[in-house]
């Protein structure tokens, strides 16, 4: 089976574990259909960060334009592959643009893939809008959902589960969440806030994330702690991750709470293929 994956770069660990779950060895990352370095260099940087997660797996991983991926699959008569289009985290800032890119990418991957898996939640879009895109696809499209079948809201719910997120917010309503990849991608506290405010608020307001004074006021008035999500002991001991979280906590006088995350929800999504 050929599995297409469209994912935010923040879910590197989850996508790595999802691929391990499939057992597929031939992995392709999609490059833009252009030689313009303005487009290709940032994309290659995202792909290289993903590749760092696979360095011990021994899988065959290639980066090509979609046309070349389709040619290789045909020429080698591959029966199984995973084809990944990894998108930039900051696309969350404009949920409508993000959804349009997901829709375009589903159409592109559907020329080769038998099924497409989305490494996304709603990410500021409505459930109706996301379901419309899923239902319009020419191949089955899978996305992380809760036990009632509702699409999860964001990467935090994918990492922790909606019940755990709700429990943490009931325990302390002013809770901000940080993951290892999120911290690695956006080290400065202000950039973290600008990149995440639309996810948290679920807004389509293009200028919400640019209103720096309002964001700072929001953090100081409404947030009392940051949840530091960890997946492994290495995350706990990661000095750079610790420094990023501590800088955020210091800037806004937040308590730090450690909570274990997991790739289970993302992996359970692909188990629906069996």
**165: helix, coil or strand?**
helix
pLDDT above 50 for 69? yes
Higher pLDDT, 58 or 117: 117
| Cα–Cα nearest to 86, from 151, 12, 159, 157 | 12
Name the band, by pLDDT with cuts 50, 70 and 90, for residue 39.
confident
pLDDT at 190: 52
Average pLDDT for 74-99: 92
Higher pLDDT, 66 or 53: 66
pLDDT at 91: 84
Domain 2-153+263-271 has CATH 3.40.50: no
Average pLDDT for 129-153: 96
Backbone angles phi, psi at 170, to 5 degrees: -70, -35
Q: What is the pLDDT of residues 100-125, one digit of tens each?
A: 999 999 999 999 999 999 999 998 89
Alpha helices, DSSP H, located in the chain: 12-22, 37-53, 66-75, 95-109, 127-136, 155-160, 162-171, 180-185, 189-201, 212-222, 233-237, 239-252, 264-271
pLDDT above 70 for 241? yes
Across all residues in the chain, what is the average pLDDT? 86
Domain with CATH 3.40.35 in the chain: 2-153+263-271
| Cα–Cα nearest to 183, from 233, 249, 136, 131 | 249
Higher pLDDT, 251 or 62: 62
Q: Whole-structure pTM over 0.95, yes or no? A: no
Q: What is the pLDDT of residues 16-25, one digit of tens each?
A: 999 998 889 9
Q: What is the pLDDT of residues 182-201, one digit of tens each?
A: 887 765 555 555 555 544 44
Average pLDDT for 208-217: 56
Residues in contact with 99: Cβ distance below 8 Å, sequence separation at least 6, in sequence order? 125, 129, 130, 133
Q: 34 - beta bridge partners?
A: none
Distance CA 120, CA 236 (A): 25
Name the band, by pLDDT with cuts 50, 70 and 90, for residue 64.
very high
Distance CA 81, CA 114 (A): 10
Q: What is the pLDDT of residues 157-187, one digit of tens each?
A: 999 999 999 999 999 988 989 999 888 776 5
pLDDT at 218: 62
pLDDT at 185: 74
């Amino acid at each position: 089976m050929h599995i297409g994956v469209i994912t935010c770069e923040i879910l590197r660990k989850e996508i790595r574990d999802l691929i391990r779950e499939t057992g597929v060895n031939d992995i392709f990352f999609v490059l833009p259909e252009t030689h313009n370095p303005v487009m290709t260099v940032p994309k290659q940087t995202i792909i290289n960060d993903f590749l760092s997660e696979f360095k011990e797996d021994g899988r065959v991983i290639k980066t090509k334009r979609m046309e070349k991926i389709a040619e290789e699959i045909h020429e080698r008569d591959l029966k199984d592959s995973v084809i990944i289009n990894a998108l930039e985290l900051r696309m969350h800032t404009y949920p409508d643009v993000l959804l349009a890119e997901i829709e375009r990418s589903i159409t592109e991957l559907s020329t080769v893939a038998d099924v497409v898996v989305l490494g996304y939640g709603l990410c500021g879009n409505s459930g109706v809008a996301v379901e419309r895109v899923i239902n319009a696809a020419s191949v089955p499209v899978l996305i992380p959902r809760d036990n009632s079948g509702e699409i999860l809201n964001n990467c935090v719910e994918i990492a922790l589960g909606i019940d755990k997120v709700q429990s943490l917010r009931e325990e302390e309503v002013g809770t901000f969440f940080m993951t290892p990849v999120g911290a690695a991608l956006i080290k400065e506290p202000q950039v973290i806030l600008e990149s995440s405010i639309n996810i948290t608020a679920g807004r389509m307001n293009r200028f919400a994330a640019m209103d720096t004074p309002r964001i700072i006021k929001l953090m100081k008035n409404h947030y009392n702690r940051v949840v530091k999500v960890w997946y492994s002991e290495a995350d706990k001991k990661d000095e750079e991750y610790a420094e990023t979280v501590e800088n955020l906590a210091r800037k806004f006088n937040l308590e730090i709470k450690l909570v274990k995350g997991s790739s289970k929800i993302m992996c359970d999504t692909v188990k629906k293929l069996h």
